[in-house]
Structure 1
Amino acid sequence: MAGTLQPQQLMDSEVVDPEGHKIGKVGNVYLADSTREPEWITVKTGLFGTKESFVPLSGASMDDKGVHVNVAKDLVSDAPRIDADGHLSSSESAELYRHYGLPMPRTAPDTSGGRGTSGPTPGRGERTAETRGMTGDRDRAGRAGEREQAARGTGDEGMIRSEERLKVGTEQVEAGHVRLRKYVVTEEQQVTVPVSHEEVRIEREPITDGRARTDGKLGEQEQDITLHAERAVVNKETVPVERVRLNTETVTEDQTVSGEVRKEQFDIQDDSSKRHRKS
């Protein structure tokens, strides 16, 4: 509710009507003399926000999207034109209450005699403004000068357009683990090795000179010879054959990244020629 809102929270906040339409931004906050709680706000509307309209805070609430008021945007646009100079007279307050269809608050009789008084004024709806930083008159005078300069179209300062851009860098992250492990496998291996063996060969030699001596008798006789052969013998031995170690190297490659960025654009409304264009 309006009674829980603080002037510092309200300043420069977006004002939204019950249908979700943005009305403008808060320019000034007006406090009730009797309760010192926010009662009215002025909303910057019109071309470049140079016009301020009074909006009631009765039943208003606030969240991260802005101040939600209980009056429609069109009703704010048609509100009576009253200068936001820091004070409302009784007649101006009554005119605003009638426009918004709100009942006049019951307060003490007005003895101020009109505009220009300082501090809380007992009366029929008198209000006083509180601005950011509590600098009051100096801030209001500065804003009035800015509005007048914008109305004349002679201001040197323009609006700055900003946009977001992707700022891409790199960071070192863990990408995985590599483990080197040694284990034993068994495989069949064939090796050809030459081996030799002895074989019997019968040699026959004819006797022609008759010099061979025999006993002249026939009979049985035998001769025994031992044969030899080589046999393949397999033995195993372990020998080092290779050294393996883990190491790293840096490989650079191109990678495309994408992301959404926002940028500001200008919306120009020219009331004199009824033109509307974007830039």
Structure 2
Amino acid sequence: AHDKARIKDAPGVEADGELSEAEEATLYEYYGIAGYSQYDGPDHDTLAGYERPREPVGRDTSGPTTDDAMTRSEEQLHVGTRSQEVGKARLRKYIVTEHVTTTVPVQREEVRIEREPITDANVGDALDGPALSEEEHEVTLRAETPVVEKDVVAKERVRLDKDTVTEEVQVDESVRKEQIETDAGPGADRRL
């Protein structure tokens, strides 16, 4: 790490975003970064029929030196489900009283006077007894009255059952990913 004063006194470079090779060499030398070498020539592995070992294109300046590549990582979102208790349901039986009105047909007896003339067929019954007398004749009348009885009748069986319902739930979450940029010349795509 370098202090503010050292950074402030660093050699000036143009602010156009592109370093010349000379400016780059000056900065390396100022900050004391060892291992900088300049290669003047085409950047390929075979030169005039001579096979040469591939040199690293760059070096890691932010940590330990590894190889000539950089790993780009990103977070991946993995969404699943888990079952958890969200409530309870129970059956409870209680009694309510309802008022019921119904109509029932009932019968009753009524008295009616029947008169029949004296004929030869009934003259014997009619003259049986004194010629004149006071007499009472009684008839019992009957009538139906509603009778209410209640009994308990099983009507249905009730139980709790569970159904599984599937619904779509939207999940929103942020994921981070690394971006890699290059300090390339003007007009070049800087993002890899």
TM-score by length of 2: 0.61
Instruction: Give the counterpart of 1:199 among 100, 107, 110.
Output: 110
Q: Which residue of 2 aligns with 1:184?
A: 95
Identical counterparts, % of pairs: 46
d(CA) in 1 for partners of 2:100, 2:135: 50
**Equivalent residues of 2:75, 2:175 under 8 A apart:** yes
Q: Which residue of 2 aligns with 1:149?
A: 56
Counterpart of 1:200 in structure 2: which amino acid? V
Q: Which residue of 2 aligns with 1:240?
A: 154
d(CA) in 2 for partners of 1:73, 1:199: 131
Counterpart of 2:159 in structure 1: which amino acid? R
**Equivalent residues of 1:269, 1:275 under 8 A apart:** no
Following superposition, the deviation at residue 186 of structure 1 comes to 0.7
CA distance change for structure 1 residues 75 and 276 in 2, over 3 Å: closer, same or farther?
Answer: farther
Structure richer in strand, relative to its length: 1
Q: Which residue of 2 aligns with 1:161?
A: 72
Structure richer in helix, relative to its length: 1
Equivalent residue of 1:150, what SS? Answer: coil
Following superposition, the deviation at residue 226 of structure 1 comes to 1.2
Q: Does 1:224 align with 2:138?
A: yes
CA distance change for structure 1 residues 226 and 249 in 2, over 3 Å: closer, same or farther?
Answer: same
Deviations 1:198-244 (CA, angstroms, capped at 9, x unpaired): 11121111225593427444x54332211111111112222222211
TM-score by length of 1: 0.44
Following superposition, the deviation at residue 261 of structure 1 comes to 1.0
Following superposition, the deviation at residue 171 of structure 1 comes to 0.3
Unaligned runs of 5+ in 2: 12-26, 36-53, 60-66
CA distance change for structure 1 residues 173 and 77 in 2, over 3 Å: closer, same or farther?
Answer: farther
Q: Name the count of aligned residue pairs.
A: 146
Q: Does 1:75 align with 2:25?
A: no
Following superposition, the deviation at residue 184 of structure 1 comes to 0.8
Deviations 1:32-52 (CA, angstroms, capped at 9, x unpaired): xxxxxxxxx5xxxxxxxxxxx
Relative contact order, CA 8 A, sep 6+: which one is greater?
A: 2
Q: Which residue of 1 aligns with 2:17?
A: none
Unaligned runs of 5+ in 1: 1-40, 42-54, 56-69, 86-145
Q: Does 1:255 align with 2:188?
A: no
Bigger Rg over Cα? 2
d(CA) in 2 for partners of 1:278, 1:178: 57
CA distance change for structure 1 residues 207 and 72 in 2, over 3 Å: closer, same or farther?
Answer: farther
* Correspondences of 1:28-43 after superposition (within 5 Å): 41=1
